Amino acid sequence: MNIGLLTTATQLNYGATLQAMALREILAELAPHDHVEAVNYDITSNGEELFGAPFRRLMRFWEKPALKRLAIRALCPLRMQDHRRRRARTQRFLLDKVRVGTTVFHEPDDLWEGNPYDLFVVGSDQVWRYQNRAHLFCLLSGLPDPSVRRISYAASLGWSELPEEFRKEFVPALGKFDAISVREPSAVPVLERLLGEQGSIRAVVDPTILYGRERWRTFLRNNPSDAGAGDYAFVYWLHRTDGLFPILKGLKDKGFRDIRVVLPWYRTLLGGSISAAKRSFARMAGDYGARLCVSAGPVEFVHLLANARYVVANSFHALMFSLLFDKPARIFVGLDKERDLMAPRMVSFAERHGLEGVVFSGLENHCDLPVGASHDYGRVWESVERDRKNSLDWLRASLENCGVRTASDVRKD
């Protein structure tokens, strides 16, 4: 059987690529007799895809030496060389670890007409957020062959109410899935109301948690990197860059002389102002001893977080990895309208598993960073582990119901 993992992996996003690797490897272990790969589809609308036309044009531009030198001088504060290195590392990770398929599907119709897969597993991340073009692929609404089986694992919605104009698209498509699970418990009643099915939707853990602590430790050993060498605090920031300065000051006041900062590439633009970027980067380095790790790929990202003495972030997957690696952390939510969409999943996870001392709303707590204390992750992990094992059992049963011969010895540790 040919199994296609349909997710949002092919973009410059650490959480998206790492959860895709984790889920693909779990699927490969559960289905050892079948071929499992990530579907390589092109989401060119967001400008971050790794195999799409905009970046191909950009790479052709970089092949011209004179233009390259000019661009480096003009865009130096935006760290374009580092972005290019990160992009190359991410591409290599997708091909080697996520096992992205070699065929690129540029439009949903290309996938419907040339579908090589017998079973699709859709998820995780915001695969059904109607504002994203990815949902056109991940709904599988145009798939003509009814014999192709469909499962969703830890799909995320990004909405609590579906606008009327999308209901005609979503409801019939979701009704064709053999089994549906979602990442946020709050999405269960939303989909049950939408589909009119009670008790058929399950909440499961994120693939990074499903992967388990021992596998992530093995991942670090098998993928060495010097990115995590030294004694430092790690900051992963998805909010506006000016919100970083109170955080950096708080860390410096706590004695950190080495602060390593990872930002999404578009955040370094600071609204496109090169002069603002220069001032911001100079202030980070000069006033707080912070350095940008813009070139970090997925492997380097995991090493940076796993080896840090303290973690500050406003990212769901930074919360997951802090738990996986027992890192003292402070995770901020609800900082702007964009990040408000992410807040419920982090807050609900913290409430469910007793992480109230890690997740905070707003920046008012930034000055009181308890860097000397570690959260009791052992107690938290006991709660998470129950959900993890239940999620693995659900995925195994769903695959078997779709005709997959599963392995019985997949590790639950």
Residue 67 binned pLDDT confidence (cut-offs 50, 70, 90): low
Burial class (CB in 10 A: 0-12, 13-18, 19+), 413: exposed
Which domain CATH number covers 325?
3.40.50.2000
Lowest mean pLDDT among 75-79, 136-140, 144-148, 296-300: 75-79
Q: Mark whether 48 and 155 lie in a shared domain.
A: yes
pLDDT value at 65 more than 70: no
Residue 275 binned pLDDT confidence (cut-offs 50, 70, 90): low
Assess whether the previous peptide bond of 273 is cis (omega < 30° from 0).
no
Residue 411 one-letter amino acid: R
Q: What is the mean pLDDT of residues 132-140?
A: 85
Does residue 409 lie in a domain region? Answer: no
Residue 31 binned pLDDT confidence (cut-offs 50, 70, 90): very high
Q: pLDDT of 341-378, one tens digit each?
A: 667 778 888 888 888 778 877 666 555 555 545 567 88
Structural domain harbouring 165:
2-210+385-401
pLDDT value at 117 more than 80: yes
What b/e string do you get for 98-119 counting C-beta neighbours within 10 Å, with b at 16 or more?
Answer: bbbbeeebeebeebbeebebbb
The end-to-end CA distance of the chain, in Å, is 27
Radius of gyration of the chain (CA): 21
Q: Mark whether 83 and 205 lie in a shared domain.
A: yes
Lowest mean pLDDT among 4-8, 72-76, 376-380: 72-76
Does residue 183 lie in a domain region? Answer: yes
pLDDT score for 345:
78
| Three-class DSSP category at 148 | coil
- 194: phi > 0 → left, psi -120 to 50 → alpha, else beta; which? alpha
Q: Mark whether 53 and 106 lie in a shared domain.
A: yes
What's the structural domain count of the chain?
Answer: 2
β-bridge partners, 311: 234, 329
Does residue 28 lie in a domain region? Answer: yes
pLDDT score for 403:
94
pLDDT score for 20:
95
Q: Mark whether 123 and 270 lie in a shared domain.
A: no
β-bridge partners, 330: 312
Q: Mark whether 256 and 311 lie in a shared domain.
A: yes
Q: Mark whether 76 and 191 lie in a shared domain.
A: yes
Q: Mark whether 281 and 176 lie in a shared domain.
A: no
Does residue 78 lie in a domain region? Answer: yes
Asked if residues 213 and 186 have their Cβ atoms less than 8 Å apart, the reply is no
Q: Six-digit token pair at 225?
A: 């990197």
Residues 6 or more apart from 345 whose CB is under 8 A from it? Answer: 156, 183, 184, 186, 316
Maximum mean pLDDT: which of 55-69, 122-136, 197-211: 197-211
Q: Mark whether 273 and 205 lie in a shared domain.
A: no
Q: What is the mean pLDDT of residues 105-119?
A: 91
Does residue 26 lie in a domain region? Answer: yes
Maximum mean pLDDT: which of 227-241, 308-322, 330-344, 374-388: 308-322
Does residue 413 lie in a domain region? Answer: no
Model pTM score: 0.87
Q: What is the mean pLDDT of residues 204-231?
A: 94
Q: Mark whether 243 and 94 lie in a shared domain.
A: no
Q: Mark whether 269 and 205 lie in a shared domain.
A: no
d(CA 338, CA 160): 15
Asked if residues 43 and 24 have their Cβ atoms less than 8 Å apart, the reply is no
312 φ, ψ to 5°? -125, 130
Q: Mark whether 158 and 25 lie in a shared domain.
A: yes
Q: Mark whether 180 and 56 lie in a shared domain.
A: yes
Does residue 122 lie in a domain region? Answer: yes
Does residue 410 lie in a domain region? Answer: no
Alpha helices in 39-163 (DSSP H): 53-62, 65-75, 80-93, 108-113, 135-138
Which domain CATH number covers 188?
3.40.50
